[in-house]
Structure 1
Amino acid sequence: MPTRHLLLCFLLPVNAFAADTLEEITVTGTREPRLLAETPASVKVISGETLRADKPSHPAQVMGQAPGVWVNVTGGEGHMTAIRQPLTTNPVYLYLEDGIPTRSTGFFNHNALYEINLPQAGGIEVTRGPGTALYGSDAIGGVVNVLTRPAPPTPQLEVSAEVGEYGWKRLLASGGNTWGENGLRADLNLTTTDGWRDHTGYDRQSATLRWDRALGTDAVIKTVLTGSRIDQDTAGSSALVRADYENAPTKNYTPISYRKVSALRLSSAWERETGDTLVSLTPYLRDDSMELLANWSLSYDPTVYTTANRSFGLMGKWRRDFAPLRARLIAGVDLDASPGRREENRLATLTTTGSGVSKLYTAYSVGTRVYDYDVTFIGASPYVHGELSPTKRLRLSAGLRYDDLRYRFDNHFAAGAIAASTRENGGAPVTRYYGQSGDTTVRFHHLSPKLGVTFALDHDTHVFASYNHAFRAPSEGQLFRPSAQTNEARAQLAAASALGLKPVKADQYELGLRGKAASLDYEVSIYRLEKRDDILSYKDPVTSATQVVNAGKTLHRGVELGLGAPMSKAWRLDAALSYAKHSYEQWVIPGTADFSGKDMESAPRVIGNLRLSWSPAAGQRVQLEWVKLGRYWMDQANTRQYEGHDLFNLRANWALNKTLALYGSVQNLLDTRYAESASVSSGVDVFAPGLPRTLYAGIEAKW
């Protein structure tokens, strides 16, 4: 590949190569451009053009365009994700920015997409299921790779200002230029809102700076600096009893909760290609911190805590192409050192009104320190990936990755248990015990094989099949922050049990077909994903206290369908549909419960997204979207069920001239009452209400 082509791979948006789906280019699997037709995986590309047209106020508003993907809203831009898994906060997804994990394995954040400047990204690639050998721990349910925008070839400036109901205001600005061998782009996102529920406002400031530079005739370097600061009241996910959910959804039982987030990432990717050989080195730095008073644990474990970690990493890759059989060999290593810390205090007092799950928390004071430790995650992961084509139509791939991961734990407390008490409304203190492990090193090592095949039935039809093994090491919170207990002995036992958590192991088999029939683009895939030693949370039905354990086995299987078709010159229809079943195959909690054979909670069988677009001219679009979420169980025992919901959203973009355009959207067009999540708390059905009908409008200028 000549340097000019290599530079274009850095500069062009992901869909600029594509005349149709089969010729679409993806970059996630091997960290460089690759034909989707020769990718043995289910990958959905959400283009940069789609992001700039939709201007999502939350990741949920675009992620559902990928079949089988459900992202909900937990408050502000917070979220939980379901990709070939139930809706979960568990670390079973790998979030990337330009191919680099946004966090280390040890410090997973299920809200990862709010740490990325999503509305100004250059595109999103969503790989459903485990990733290739180039990706290790975390990549089980899926890999989400958000791509930054390259520098424009000529001077460019874009500014949009928008307002909406509930105090929504946002300014997006982006601009850049290319001077000879250097290209620069800067993006800025300033957002504020009061929130539609009581005490659910947030403020966000995000910026991205990208510098592309050609080095001589055979090398390029891409340097990206991104940062976000988020200050929000986290109670958007505060669930309500049914009466309030149906009649007073703006209520918030936990107005004292909050979250303050800071995320900074710096990377510099150097690539040199000479002849048939490419070498790339990508050093990176990350700095993440969060202060949190969690709303979901106020009733059984009221604490406020700060977590922070810094990462120093290097991703190295060597690739060689061979003329016979179009063979390709990739070898590399990922290195990551992430020192971090946790400081957590029990709340000493709580002021409340009411009782039960509808109790209102209005004030607090901070009490005893219950966790205070440093922990460093260290990872070294070599891998090898190979591809070849025995025939023109057949493409085979295989990979092997070895992950050597460890935690160095330094507890500022002695081994044992810390007692801490909380008084509610001046009453008798409630004392809980927090187990403490001694200084230790915990190590995990794992070998992950990958196999894939693609075959062209004809020019417009391709079939693919794959087997992927994946795993997930426990995170620092799962290992070193066990749940609070009622006595010292139980606390010590919980601490010892947490240290004994095993990694999650997963095996996925997948068969897919993608192609083009007349003007219809389609992709259909069938998968079976089995997880062993799944790390699951058991919630006590009376106290709502949770305990993390290794379950025996869970099973996830389904079919996914993606369709896209122009119906005429002005009309287009796109669809993303899935039907899946997620079940506990083996999960027995001795002396407590046996969930074997039960469906998993928060796991709808049907997820659908249908978009009808009318574009009479360039720069003009009106789109109606139908979002379908099927019914699902609200508890592990399968006794309560959420009925599901159907939502309709309307979007419009209207260019006034070459410089100015108007845009807007109406979310939840029919003002449907629905739940972002539904569960059972202390034996009572509770619902986190979703956004009512809400209007956003803005104006955009481009020069």
Structure 2
Amino acid sequence: MIDAVPSTEIVITAERAPEQAADTPASVSIIDGRTIERLGDPLIPSLLRLTPSVSVSTSGPGGSLTEVRIRGSENNHTLLFVDGIRANDPATGNQPRFELLNSDLASRIEVVRGPQSALWGSEAVGGVVAVNGIAAQASSYALGFEGGSFGFLRGSASGSIASEQGDLSAGIGWQKASGIDAFDGNGDKDGYRNLSARVRGSWTLGPGLKFGAAAFSLSGRSEFDGYNPNPPFQHTDTLDSSRNRLSATRLWTEIGETDASWSGRVGGSFLSSRNRNFLDDIELNRTSGTRSALDAQVQHRFRTGDVDHRFILAADHETEDFKARDINFGGATDQDQSRKHSSLTGEWRADAGPISADLAVRHDAFNRFKDATTIRASLLANVGGGFSIAGSYGEGIAQPTFFDLYGFFPNAFVGNPSLRPEYSRGFEGSLRYRKASFGASLTAYRQWLKDEIIDTFDPSTFLSSTDNRKTASRRSGIEAQADWSIGEKLRISANYSYLRASEPNDLGSKVREARRPKHSGAISVDGRIDRFTYGASMAYVGSRIDTDFEVFPYQRVRLGSYWLAGARLGFEVTRGVQLFTRVANAFDANYQDALGYRTEGRSIYGGIRLARGR
């Protein structure tokens, strides 16, 4: 279920410590495991499209490069966690690789909207997305296979065990599709394949002492239509492809019970990525990156009078390395760069009956560019009758990418090592209602983005570079959500979002930002009746602006609105054995998320699922 204001769900990323969703002032959407299974979408971006103020742009058919923008922010302004590991790719400008996320390995998706850098640091400008793997349950397993239109095949296996001393869960998922021609429908098909795996476990070593480990690996190959290498360099039908790999490991130790007076944790993680681009079978270039991180956090709970307090102090240290290699330019664009940064975060929360307040302050010290300090302050008040009001102020930062700082392309581009981090601040206020099985919320927000990193061009040298924009981009909007359930038979969620996003153009005027729909919304239903399980969703994406880079001067083009619907129906033929069928793009919408890149029409699939203990 995609909850409006969930009351019993635990939110992980809205604060530095887990908290019940009804008790956090943050704007949060949670997609639970039953919704993920019953809707049946193979990739996580299709599920994110169903949450408020989340715009998904895929450059072609499924598995292609996917951009996710929260509340009108940039694609690299979303921070992604996978099983608690910071997963933005250091080898591609710290962008999250959403196209690699296989939904078969997810049991829960959490989306926190609004600037969250005071809690989590760089890239948390538009919001945070946390994807959690299969939850550990005693003696449970699941196997699945599916096939259908456009040469699509999909298989997965997962299992878990749990006891009083510990738990262990693991899963693997594989997908492939021959796809469609993304250019004009008359050329070669552009398909994809990916392979994903994850494992997570924890062991209780003694009273108040727990050790945990988690790891994941994401790999994929995506075919796409690029640009003619010869003048006039137009978008055309090509044999381009990219091969991507992202893997990470995290170890941690928890000391003390979370509800004890004192508790804490220490941990470390390591992430590596590699991206290679090909034309036919000829490698053009490659990038790789690593991120090593150490973190520690201590929490103190205490009470003064009628007020419960929680204070958290956290410290983080991170090292990133980046390498770029080209084949077709004789190594002229090669790079070997590294950077470090440390941070200190303090968060205080107070609960006084129906009123809760939260304040977080974080300082990030960078060795390559200017330091940054961010703040988040919020307040939640339960006013009775199921109603509550919430408000918050938050700040966000996004560090310059390695290419922004040091990139080089002969006679065309040179980076700018004097860049500053991008900075955002925003306010939001919401009215919420929760009574029994019905919940609703109405939220209004306003955000500013300063020091945005933009491309520049010097007509005297004919060189492009990067710089911080002198004036601010502005985003404001409204989000309305509602959810209702009748036990297991029916659960329904609906939302509508209005967004106004503008940026200054070269003449100083405000223009609408590209690939951001002004109107969007979604409705999803799922449930179980006897042996039948079902799920269906319909997303509306309003008209957007994109830029046509084919002919100079570049023109702004309007992309039309569309409805995207899907459904899945399963039947349990015997205990633990389910047959199912699924349809995607049920209305056969003819749409483009990115100008010049076609998407699939209506498609139909069927499969089998074996499960025990779930």
TM-score of the alignment, normalized to the shorter chain, above 0.5:
yes
Closer, same or farther: CA 191–555 of 1 in aligned 2, 3 Å: same
Alignment-derived partner of residue 236 in structure 2? 253
CA drift at 1:336: 0.9
Please state if 1:555 is matched with 2:474. Answer: yes
Q: Which residue is 2:370 aligned to?
A: 444
Partner of 1:242: none
Partner of 1:405: 366
Deviates more, 1:468-477 or 1:530-539: 530-539
Shift of 1:538: 6.6
Q: How does 1:444-593 map to 2 (within 5 A)?
A: 444-458=370-384, 460-482=386-408, 485=411, 491=413, 494-495=414-415, 498-517=416-435, 519-537=437-455, 548-551=466-469, 552-566=471-485, 570-584=489-503, 586-587=504-505, 593=506
Q: Counterpart amino acid of 2:358?
A: S
| Residue of structure 1 in register with 2:336 after alignment | 374
**Aligned match of 2:149:** 165
How far, CA to CA, are the matches of 2:510 and 2:213 in structure 1? 50
Amino acid at match of 1:656: V
Structure 1 residues 212, 569: closer, same or farther in 2, change over 3 A? closer
Q: Secondary structure at the match of 2:66?
A: coil
What secondary structure does 1:174 align onto? strand
CA drift of 1:221 comes to 2.0
2:43 aligned with 1:58: yes
- CA contact 2:134–2:158 (8 Å) conserved in 1: no
Q: 1:580–1:482: structure 2 CA closer, same or farther, 3 Å change rule?
A: farther
Stretches of 4+ aligned residues off by more than 6 angstroms: none
SS at match of 2:606: strand
Question: Structure 1 residues 381 and 65 mapped into 2: Cα distance closer, same or farther (>3 Å)?
Answer: same
CA contact (8 A) 2:89 2:95 kept: no
Would you say the 8 A contact 1:466–1:510 is kept in 2? Answer: yes
Match of 1:330 among 312, 324, 339: 312
Take 1:384 and 1:322, find their aligned partners in 2: how far apart are those partners?
Answer: 16
Equivalent of residue 641 in structure 1, options 554, 558, 571:
558
Matched, 1:222 2:212: yes
Please give the per-residue CA displacement for 1:595-614, whole angstroms capped at 9, x wherever unaligned: 52211122210111112446
1:213 shift after superposition: 0.9
Matched, 1:41 2:26: yes
Q: In the alignment, what sits opposite 2:598?
A: 689
Partners in 2 of 1:268 and 1:320 — Cα distance?
Answer: 23
Q: Partner residue of 2:518?
A: 605
In 2 relative to 1, CA 549–482 (structure 1 residues): closer, same or farther, beyond 3 Å?
farther
Q: Deviations over 1:483-533 (max 9, x none)?
A: 6645xxxx5xx44xx222221111110101222246421122111010111
Whichever residue aligns with residue 541 of structure 2, its letter is L
CA 1:605/1:20 → structure 2, altered by over 3 Å: closer, same or farther? closer
Change (3 A) 1:640 1:631: same
> Match of 1:559, as an amino acid?
I
Residues 701 and 312 from structure 1, CA distance in 2 versus in 1: closer, same or farther, beyond 3 angstroms? same
Distance, in Å, in 2 between the alignment partners of 1:466 and 1:20 is: 16
Aligned counterpart for 1:186 among listed residues 150, 155, 170: 170
Conserved 8 A contact 2:4-2:441:
no
Shift of 1:377: 2.4
Q: Counterpart of 1:30?
A: 15
* Preserved contact between residue 598 and residue 638 of structure 1 (Cα < 8 Å): no
Q: Which amino acid aligns with 1:191?
A: Q
SS of the residue corresponding to residue 676 of structure 1 reads coil
1:21 alignment partner, SS class:
coil
Distance 1:116 1:212, change over 3 A: farther
The 1:509–1:483 alpha-carbon spacing in structure 2 relative to 1, beyond 3 Å, is farther
- CA distance in structure 2 between the aligned counterparts of 1:310 and 1:632, rounded to whole angstroms: 35
Q: Secondary structure at the match of 2:7?
A: helix
Pick aligned residue for 1:67 from 32, 52, 55: 52
1:214-239 deviations in Å (ceiling 9; x for gaps): 1212122221121122122133x889
The one-letter code of the counterpart of 1:599 is: R
What are the Cα deviations for residues 587-643 of structure 1, in whole angstroms up to 9, with x where unaligned?
4xxxxx3152211122210111112446423x6233332211111222499853222
Alignment of 1:99-110 (within 5 A): 99-103=84-88, 108-110=93-95
Q: 2:590 aligns to what SS in structure 1?
A: coil
> How far apart are 1:126 and its partner, in Å?
0.4
Name the CA distance, whole Å, in 2 between partners of 1:238 and 1:188: 35
- Residue of 281, 285, 289 corresponding to 2:270: 285
Q: Report deviation, 1:253.
A: 2.8
**Counterpart-to-counterpart distance in 1, 2:605 and 2:348:** 48
**Are residues 1:341 and 2:323 paired?**
yes
Q: Are 1:387 and 2:349 matched, yes or no?
A: yes
Matched, 1:271 2:254: yes
Residues in 1 aligned to 2:536 and 2:33: alpha-carbon distance in whole angstroms: 20
- 1:576 deviates by 2.0
Could you tell me how far 1:191 is from its partner in structure 2?
1.6
Query: What is the alpha-carbon distance in structure 1 between the residues aligned to residue 497 and residue 454 of structure 2?
Result: 24
Distance 1:520 1:284 in 2: 40
Aligned partner of residue 369 in structure 2, secondary structure: strand
Report if the CA contact (8 A) 1:528-1:556 is conserved: yes
Q: 75-84 vs 323-332, which deviates more?
A: 75-84
User: Residues 316 and 344 of structure 2 are in contact (CA less than 8 Å); yes or no, is this contact kept in structure 1?
Assistant: yes
1:626 paired to 2:610: no
Amino acid at match of 1:632: R
The whole-number CA distance in structure 2 between the counterparts of 1:561 and 1:526 is 9
The answer (yes or no) to whether the contact 1:167–1:195 under 8 Å persists in 2 is yes
SS at match of 1:326: strand
CA contact (8 A) 1:660 1:702 kept: yes
Paired residue for 2:127?
A: 142
Paired residues of 1:567 and 1:573 also in contact (CA < 8 A): no
Distance change in 2, residues 1:184/1:22 (3 Å): closer
In structure 2, relative to structure 1, the CA distance for the partners of 1:102 and 1:483 (3 Å cut) is same
Contact 1:79 1:111 (C-alpha < 8 Å) held by counterparts: no
**What root-mean-square deviation, in Å, do the aligned CA atoms of Structure 1 and Structure 2 show?**
2.9
Change (3 A) 1:209 1:20: same
SS class of match (1:23): coil
Give the corresponding residue for 2:184. Answer: none
Give the total of aligned pairs: 584
State the match for 1:156 in structure 2.
140
CA pair 106-278 structure 1, distance change in 2 beyond 3 A: farther
Structure 1 residues 467 and 279: alpha-carbon distance in aligned structure 2, compared to 1, 3 A threshold:
same
Closer, same or farther in 2 for the Cα pair 1:238/1:34, shift >3 Å?
farther
Is the contact made by 1:264 and 1:286 (CA closer than 8 Å) also made in structure 2? yes
| Alpha-carbon spacing, 1:638–1:395, altered in 2? closer, same or farther (3 Å) | farther
Instruction: Name structure 2 gaps, 5 residues minimum.
Output: 182-187, 229-234, 549-553
What letter is aligned with 2:606?
Answer: A
Contact persistence 2:52–2:479 (CA under 8 A)? yes
**1:668 lines up with 2:595 in the alignment:** no
**Percent identity for Structure 1 against Structure 2:** 20
TM-score (norm 1): 0.78
**Helix, strand or coil for the counterpart of 2:207?**
coil
CA distance in 2, matches of 1:74, 1:575: 26
Q: Give the 3 Å change call, closer, same or farther, for CA 303–601 of structure 1 in structure 2.
A: farther
CA-CA distance at 1:129 after TM superposition: 1.2
2:209 partner amino acid: A
Q: Distance in 2 between matches of 1:503 and 1:121?
A: 32
CA contact (8 A) 1:671 1:692 kept: yes
- Aligned counterparts of 1:115 and 1:178: Cα–Cα separation in 2: 28
